[in-house]
């Protein structure tokens, strides 16, 4: 293998909430962010259950998400739910599993691009041509999620395959970042801050600097070329 993944994680409850309902899981071939819903006890339980399943999972993420839904139905209180955005790597290719309004981005050759698609009411209105992206970003119900993993009412995730390139930088994040940080500022931090851990904490500081009313989680994965002596 001629490349390696350098992974950095930062998570924070934000400035308002006492509990962090976000859960995060990373290993060399898998990174995931889950944002719990349904009140802090239910939300924490649901997001933790999602990453618990992934922690022991090998292989395709479709059955993994189905297992999370089954566990939620069997073990979680009614209404407990979570978003999930996860990347599973096979060499330079990765499978993306996504449901809800957490997000995945790629920074490639200086351009930041979202590679997940929000499952929210405002995104559905944007898709239908009834709302602009600018209106959606400021809508008071922008966090209203149409699809999630939820006890008694889970939906299917989006599953897709992508090809990475050396020097790509990937960001997984909960909406505590994207709802309270300008994407131009996110782009600038990801582009200018080489160290992934420092960049992740700068992103959290950015959201907190704008009031930080929600939990904030960031996972940054850098695809880097191995040095000749590491091969």
What is the chain's length? 231
Closest Cα partner for 32 from 116, 97, 119, 107? 97
Instruction: Indicate the pTM of the whole model.
Output: 0.94
Which CATH code for domain 3-230?
A: 3.60.40.10
Quote the CA–CA distance of 153 and 160 in Å, as a whole number: 23
CA dist 50 and 133 (Å) reads 30
Q: How does pLDDT run across 150-189, given as a tens digit for each residue?
A: 999 889 999 999 999 999 999 999 999 999 999 999 999 9
| pLDDT at site 226 | 84
């Amino acid at each position: 293998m001629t490349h390696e993944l350098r992974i950095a994680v930062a998570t924070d409850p934000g400035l308002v909430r006492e509990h962090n309902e976000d859960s995060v899981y990373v290993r060399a071939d898998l990174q995931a962010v889950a944002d719990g819903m349904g009140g802090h006890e239910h939300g924490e339980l649901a997001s933790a259950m999602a990453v618990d399943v992934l922690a022991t999972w090998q292989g395709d993420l479709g059955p993994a998400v189905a297992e999370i839904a089954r566990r939620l139905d069997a073990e979680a209180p009614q209404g407990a739910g979570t978003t999930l955005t996860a990347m599973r790597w096979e060499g330079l290719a990765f499978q993306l599993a996504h449901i809800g309004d957490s997000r995945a981005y790629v920074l490639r050759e200086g351009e930041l691009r979202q590679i997940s698609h929000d499952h929210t009411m405002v995104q559905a209105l944007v898709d239908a041509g009834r709302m602009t992206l600018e209106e959606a970003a400021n809508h008071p119900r922008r966090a209203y999620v149409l699809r999630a993993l939820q006890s008694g009412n889970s939906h299917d995730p989006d599953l897709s395959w992508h090809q990475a390139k050396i020097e790509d930088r990937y960001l997984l994040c909960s909406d505590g970042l994207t709802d309270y940080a300008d994407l131009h500022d996110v782009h600038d931090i990801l582009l200018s801050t080489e160290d992934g851990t420092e960049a992740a904490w700068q992103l959290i500081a950015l959201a907190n600097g704008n009031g930080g009313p929600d939990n904030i989680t960031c996972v940054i994965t850098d695809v880097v070329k191995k040095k000749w002596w590491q091969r």
